[in-house]
A and B are shown apart, each in its own frame.
Chain A
């Protein structure tokens, strides 16, 4: 019977790592369900390729640890379980082993400290160091091209009006539709008007909770033209699941209202009334 349990436990490393590899490689199918496309979705944002790299790196490190520890677990059942065949073999009286304990404290500790420092730059690039641009020889932070406001249950997008500035009375508003240029950094101002929401674009690895009373910035660059889904990823009420917006990434020059100097707002956009000005 102990062999049965050993085999059962050996399935943990075998299937755990096996399914992971299949999903990453994206080949094969189980019961007619294709394993392709079960791992990270395509990433069109060059700022976050490092996030995907970290995701894979930590999975590889953890996969090795998982493989070793759970294999040992299956082995000890196979080898050391009590059964009729080893009645005369006593358990070893071992209380500790200083060298072994130092090894499995120092090595994982070193790996963890390495991971801790290795990721700092990625964190800073995505949450702290806002992209810069050079205008007339001066390096300056890129200004937000639009304001996105979360509310139950949708996203309002505000573009600068003819004056080219956000937060003025000529801003143009459109619901659940954002247009950004491909191939250059985009900075957005994100806010919430009622409860917490989270501005998330899985296809770009972008996520930022938006908090009523706070103003925040997110930035990314879309290298592949197309349509992306903006989701809400913080519980915001019963309609949380359906709170979505569309983001189109298009080649410049931008059409319609997303082009800041447009004087002909598209039919769906409405100029913001004075009392609704966001600041």
Chain B
């Protein structure tokens, strides 16, 4: 096998998973740097950016222009959602873990799997081209609300860039679609003998529900994106209302409805919030149980919670539109469903805490990140209850309170689990251990700085500070908040900087890390049966599964773990 077929055009799910992982991490850095640039502008509006300014913004004399700021906030959101969080969870960890954890030799459709990764590259290309296209790039927010996103005249410079943005999104959608079909088929069809549904680890349950969400919600977004492309290029008017004026000249056509896009967009993008959260919850459950040497508390309620989050996730999209002009009665109905979806998330949190209670917590870096996730998810989840209350949303909609909320869930929540999972499964991926010392320094600094960046945003939001503003200093209401903005910016720069600990650890450990055995954490699930790293085909001998994934510290056994494939029963007899 040549280098090219082994590491580049590989149909091995593990290689594809690691490809997804590394490209997502690179985009994570790009998205983070964009956020840092936005923070520069917010703390010191219209001041010359050091070093980069004269190179990037020569025409503006080294400042970030408001057009460029709008492009940055659009691209930061797009990159983080579509190129980082979704592909790193489903693409990287879904790919790497699903076949290993269910005892399969690969995905059901290995070539389709490879294609799902390579369909990300046209998307990468489209996004990079839209950066480089004339003008300032797409500038309608990651939500791409029409008519702003449709009228080229409304956002100068967004012409070709916005079309490229939409095209890129179509490719991301195709990639996710191929992945989700593969995941569903693999989980349903390729489980090892004895691996019943209620012996599946939570990671797999979460990946299954995530894949179902993607399979059923994504076509709607893809259709909506194509409709928006048609509005821009073919002269259709799906989202263009009658009699709209841009710059005082009448737009031809009409008869469409701008709110239609919001319904279609959020019909996908709210389930997408759970696509960005459920796999993290699943991986957290597995790490927490194995690292506290204790069974996962309430396994079945955990499964039912994930299923009900998946189901309810389809009927809550309207809470993004409480003040959009949607009929208020519909808003009231969405408010009730949204309030209900808080319940299964709450149950999961309580069950995690009960899992930890009475355990023997192994405070590895992966475990610390998981516990950090619980703390941050509690904050982000509870502020979500606040915005489920529709009348309160009248005040906090599109303020920094919302920014604080979704960064607590997606950055404090999902990203901490992603990083924790890298520390946890790195030995399986690369056959070596990561440095615990560097890892703990990384956890401490990241955890503290995330809170320094995002906690103060609650107070900005409580003042009604609008998001997506390039500058607040000229307003009467908010000029006094500028010291907080400066504090957040210093913290954000530091947060980006301390990721050096992770980068050094990630790449350094590939060469200098201690060699890992098959099962460095003494965990139960099937991936730890395989060698580290597993060969193409994963397992050297056929597996049989005898029990659930969480039999830790079973009384009467000498070992505090009991692997799913261990044929020995509680009395020491070998099963036949």
Contacts and interface: CB of A to CB of B under 8 A. Distances in A.
A89 B292 CA distance: 13
A16 interface: yes
B245 A38 contact: no
A186 interface: no
Nearest to B472: A241
Interface string B447-488: 110010001001100111010111110111100100110010
A76 interface: yes
Given A41-B477, A100-B354, A80 B361 contact: yes
A207 B146 CA distance: 19
Given A202-B463, A235-B140, A55 B395 contact: yes
Given A38-B459, A82-B363, A93-B555, A214 B325 contact: yes
A271 B67 CA distance: 34
A64 to B, nearest CB: 10
Contacts of A81: 360-361, 363
B343 A207 contact: no
B552 interface: yes
A96 B295 CA distance: 9
A76 B374 contact: no
A193 B354 contact: no
A181 to B, nearest CB: 21
B246 A211 contact: no
Nearest to A96: B298
Nearest to B338: A116
A56 to B, nearest CB: 10
Interface in A1-46: 1-2, 5, 8-9, 12, 15-16, 19-20, 23, 33, 37-41
A207 B259 contact: no
Contacts of B459: 19, 23, 38-39
A82 B361 contact: yes
Contact of B332 (A39, A77, A123, A242): A123
B395 A51 contact: yes
Contacts of B363: 1-2, 5, 77, 81-82
B176 to A, nearest CB: 25
A195 B398 contact: no
**For the complex of A and B, 10 pairs with smallest distance between CB atoms:** A213-B241, A202-B464, A92-B358, A241-B469, A62-B382, A127-B328, A91-B553, A122-B391, A195-B148, A116-B339
Interface of A: 1-2, 5, 8-9, 12, 15-16, 19-20, 23, 33, 37-41, 48, 50-51, 54-55, 58-59, 61-62, 65-66, 69-70, 72-73, 76-77, 80-82, 86, 89-97, 100-101, 104-105, 108-109, 112-113, 115-116, 119-120, 122-124, 126-128, 151-152, 193-196, 198, 200, 202-203, 205-214, 216, 227, 229, 231-242, 244
19 contacts: A12-B375, A38-B462, A38-B463, A48-B391, A54-B391, A69-B350, A92-B294, A93-B294, A94-B295, A95-B550, A104-B347, A112-B340, A120-B332, A124-B328, A196-B145, A202-B463, A202-B464, A238-B70, A238-B155
Given A41-B463, A237-B70, A237-B154, 15 more contacts: A8-B444, A8-B448, A15-B455, A38-B463, A40-B463, A48-B391, A76-B361, A80-B357, A82-B293, A112-B339, A116-B340, A124-B328, A152-B154, A216-B325, A239-B66
